[in-house]
Amino acid sequence: MEQRLSIVSLGVADLAASRRFYEQGLGWKVSGASNDSIVFMDLGGVILGLYGRDALADDMKLPHGKAGGFGGFSLAHNVRAKEEVDRVLEDAAKAGARILKPAEEVFWGGYSGYFADPDGHPWEVAWNPFFPLRDDGRVELPPQ
């Protein structure tokens, strides 16, 4: 598994309010890849995502609310090719990670699964054909 963090996703209760805070309040630029259910900002090569808190829990098959160790966020490690997703998840499992969700085709057109680190912190391993990786591994996020 390459040493890379691609996305930090924060689960939020009210996406419009959260977007307002970051975009108008802090003055941060939002990517044109954002829509009514997700917001992306490029924080210098690593992406900050805002996503409905329940939707984020659903995505990793965790219960809603504070149960199940869900801390309201996830980290993502994006890979260059679809086949890499399964390999990275297998490697993580061999390293002692718990698989939260085996890789599957996802509604947004990619392929992804999740593992949890020893404290339950969730890592998504994702192939996203719409977010190419640069040579240095950082995600090329569409501009504003």
68: tokens are 């199940």
Q: For the segment 3-32, give every residue that binds a copy of itself (CB under 8 A).
A: 3-5, 8, 10-14, 17-18, 21-22, 24-29
Single residue of 41, 79, 100, 103 touching a copy of itself by CB under 8 A? 41
By CB under 8 A, residue 68 contacts a copy of itself: no
- With beta carbons less than 8 A apart as the criterion, state whether 9 and 74 touch: yes
- Please tell me the total number of residues recorded for the chain in this structure: 144
Taking the least distance from each CB to a copy of itself, the nearer of 97 and 103 is: 97
CA distance 117 to 113: 14
Single residue of 54, 55, 64, 75 touching a copy of itself by CB under 8 A? 75
Single residue of 36, 66, 107, 143 touching a copy of itself by CB under 8 A? 66
**101 to 130: interface string for a copy of itself, x by CB under 8 A:** ----------------xxxxx---------
Outline where DSSP puts E strands in 58-121. Answer: 73-79, 98-105, 111-116
- Tell me how far, at minimum, the Cβ of 105 lies from a copy of itself, in Å: 25
- With beta carbons less than 8 A apart as the criterion, state whether 64 and 57 touch: yes
Q: Which one of 32-40, 95-103, 105-113, 124-132 is the stretch in contact with a copy of itself (CB under 8 A)?
A: 95-103
CA distance 98 to 120: 8
Taking the least distance from each CB to a copy of itself, the nearer of 109 and 121 is: 121
CA distance 30 to 71: 24
CA distance 121 to 118: 7
By CB under 8 A, residue 99 contacts a copy of itself: no
